[in-house]
A and B are shown apart, each in its own frame.
Chain A
Amino acid sequence: MWLLKLAWKNLWRNRTRSLITMAAILFAVILASVVTSLQKGVFDNLIKNVVSFYSGYIQVHQKGYWNDQVLENSFEVSDTTERAILGRKGVSALTPRIESFALASSADLTKGCLVAGVAPAQEDRVTGLSGKLSAGTYLRDSDNAVLVAEDLADRLKLKLNDTLVLLAQGYHGTVAAGKYRIKGLLHFGSPDLNDKIVFLPLLAAQGMFAAENRATSYVLSLASPGDLKATAASIAETLGSPYEVLTWEDMMPEIKQHIRTDTASMSIITGILYLLICFGIFGTLLMMMVERRFELGMLQAVGMKKGRLCRLLLAESLLTVTTGCFLGIVTSIPIVGYLHAHPIRISGEMGEVYKRFGFEPIFPTATDPAIYVRQGVIVLIIGLLLSLYPVINILRMKPVAAMRK
């Protein structure tokens, strides 16, 4: 205990230096926490935007559907299955879909399109489809009408309340055809979706494809996207082999890759930050060893064992780094919290670009406590590793040499 007391007193023998070191660590932890939480927040927001375009966080299919997306790989919609999925921890909503490709025609023009039969209310909960309406009104279960993506409607020279004709191959090779009033136009951030998608109420789509009570996928949203893998595994285990459970990462590996690449470049920036912290702490330790060389030699001369002296210096370093880290974490929490509640808004042309592609023009921060703790622990480890310098110095130190004038 007296050793710890002595370490604390030693810490304040050069008050300015100790405070500067602590401040350097404090700002490093704040900067690292804010940068990391901003990065994670931006990625979380990106994922939220991307999955809300269409895919959802998780999809459940008949086994083999993802590799061969035909109606023959559809499954029967069942309350039991839906309840089993919704019963899994983390699943907040579910919607069934039946999807297939079709030819969409107006009076003179025809184009291939993706037809999605959806349960309007459930779909809205999962992907917020009604929010993408740029004209018209949203679907109802009983409608015999469609919502058409803007660019597709433009290509076919169709407007609201015009008639769209769909021609496709139905379940078991039947001919599927139907004509529908355009009840609404949709705007998607994804140019690809904007150019090809048509939404029908699930019942109408099942009728057209002659696939009564069948769906090609259940699309799921999650309460906590962080539990993605665990939730998917849990659903797969519950449903068993007839089904395949895919996460957005499985369905859109390019997004995952983008995040990975961006994270790697951010790691270089945080690495440079850590390097600066290293130099800051090391500079302090170096000065301390030069200033106290004689004293440390004297302490050994009068009978303080090297091990005890090492513990004293380690305690001094630990106190400095821990205090800096603790204050850094405590200060980071309100800053990150504020940036979460009041995210950085991208304005001007860049903001418009974001909106055009269906992204919210904001940079929010993530408030996961693990971020602060991780940054604090990293800086603490750096501090402890650097503390080995005085320890090594002590182990090599000869009192006579240290006390030489």
Chain B
Amino acid sequence: MNTVIDAHNISKIYNPKTIPVYAVNNVHLHLRRGEFTALVGPSGSGKTTLLNLIGGLDKPDEGRIEINGTDITQLSPNRLIDFRLHNIGFVFQAFNLVPVLTAEENVEFIMQLQGISHRQRQQRLDVLFRQIGLQDKRHARPAELSGGQQQRVAVARALASRPQFVLADEPTANLDSKSAANLLDIMATLNQEENMTFIFSTHDQRVIERARRVITLVDGRITSDTDAVDTSADHSTPVIPTAAEPAKSQT
């Protein structure tokens, strides 16, 4: 299995000159292609900060992060944006679709940024909308979609650029049970069928139950990193059959 993310001893410190707060403290993490991983922990444990660091949205104060062999901590801001565009998909808690664009345009927009031709864009859109089951809503504006549908479109947008992995920050937090289950089904299917790597930060037990790897953060440190099968005492039957090898990393 290929290593997609390789984070070496990364730390993020807020207020370094006054009262330093370690949002992420000396974290060492490897993620391999095809993993379906949940980052869990109490509020303020550093989940979102770690996700931001892995996603290249923030820079660590210490350590380095390699994505597919590229040290993203050394990239210039502009190259980093370009790197994110081509390698990382994002799904946000509040969906964050562009309200003036239709569902299709929201997804297509990423491919336009990549400079993909019209024909290729249309082919990719057909595939993506079939995968998220919203072929009939392609021309609907975000305001005309339910929360669950919007988040599915957000997933399609994240996948539009054919990224190395998708980072999802509390993707089910604003969804009802049915929509959350539906979304997780879609992501699990994509994980299985396309070997797409997903990393979630979540409080949601439904997500944790379906993850194949669960990393727990407390006070910015990884306190446990387990294969979901290993924790079967609590979650005996993972919903998603394991298509990838579980990874083990420690701080």
Contacts and interface: CB of A to CB of B under 8 A. Distances in A.
Interface string B93-119: 010101111000000011011100000
A361 B157 CA distance: 70
B85 interface: yes
Given A2-B112, A295-B96, A399-B57, A302 B84 contact: yes
A44 to B, nearest CB: 48
Contacts of A295: 96, 98
A260 interface: no
A294 B161 CA distance: 21
Given A295-B96, A306-B81, A400-B58, A301 B90 contact: yes
Contacts, number: 58
B220 to A, nearest CB: 16
A291 to B, nearest CB: 11
A242 interface: no
A300 interface: yes
Contacts of A303: 81-82, 84-86, 110, 113-114, 161
Interface string A355-378: 000000000000000000000000
B52 interface: yes
Interface in A278-307: 294-295, 298-307
B171 interface: no
A150 B250 CA distance: 111
A301 B55 contact: yes
Interface stretch (A8-16, A25-33, A151-159, A330-338): A8-16
Given A12-B100, A13-B100, A295-B96, A400 B52 contact: yes
Interface residues of B, number: 27
Nearest to B87: A303
B205 interface: no
Given A303-B82, A303-B86, A298 B161 contact: no
Interface size class on chain A is 20 to 34
Chain B interface, DSSP helix/strand/loop, else mixed: helix
B92 interface: yes
Contacts of B101: 6, 9
Contact of B81 (A2, A10, A13, A305): A305
Interface string B56-67: 011000000000
Contact of A298 (B58, B85, B96): B96
A13 B99 contact: yes
A403 interface: yes
B78 interface: yes
A402 to B, nearest CB: 10
B100 A9 contact: yes
Contacts of A302: 84-85, 90, 110, 157-158
Contacts of A304: 81, 85, 113
Contact of B92 (A6, A300, A308, A403): A403
Nearest to A2: B112
A303 B161 CA distance: 10
Contact of A294 (B57, B84, B96, B112): B96
A308 B81 CA distance: 11
A294 to B, nearest CB: 7
Contacts of B82: 303, 305
A400 B94 CA distance: 15
Interface string A380-405: 00000000000000000011100100
B24 to A, nearest CB: 13
B123 to A, nearest CB: 18
Contacts of B55: 301
A300 B84 CA distance: 9
B81 A300 contact: yes
A399 to B, nearest CB: 5
Given A12-B100, A13-B100, A306 B78 contact: yes
A81 B37 CA distance: 99
A315 B85 CA distance: 23
Contacts of B112: 2
B114 to A, nearest CB: 8
17 contacts: A12-B100, A13-B99, A294-B94, A295-B98, A298-B90, A302-B110, A302-B158, A303-B85, A303-B86, A303-B161, A305-B78, A306-B81, A308-B113, A398-B58, A399-B57, A400-B52, A400-B58
Given A6-B100, A301-B84, 6 more contacts: A12-B100, A298-B92, A298-B96, A303-B113, A305-B81, A305-B82
Interface of A: 2, 6, 9-10, 12-13, 294-295, 298-308, 398-400, 403
Interface of B: 52, 55, 57-58, 77-78, 81-82, 84-86, 90, 92, 94, 96, 98-101, 109-110, 112-114, 157-158, 161
Question: Can you list the 5 inter-chain pairs with the closest CB atoms, starting with the nearest?
Answer: A303-B85, A9-B100, A298-B96, A400-B58, A13-B100
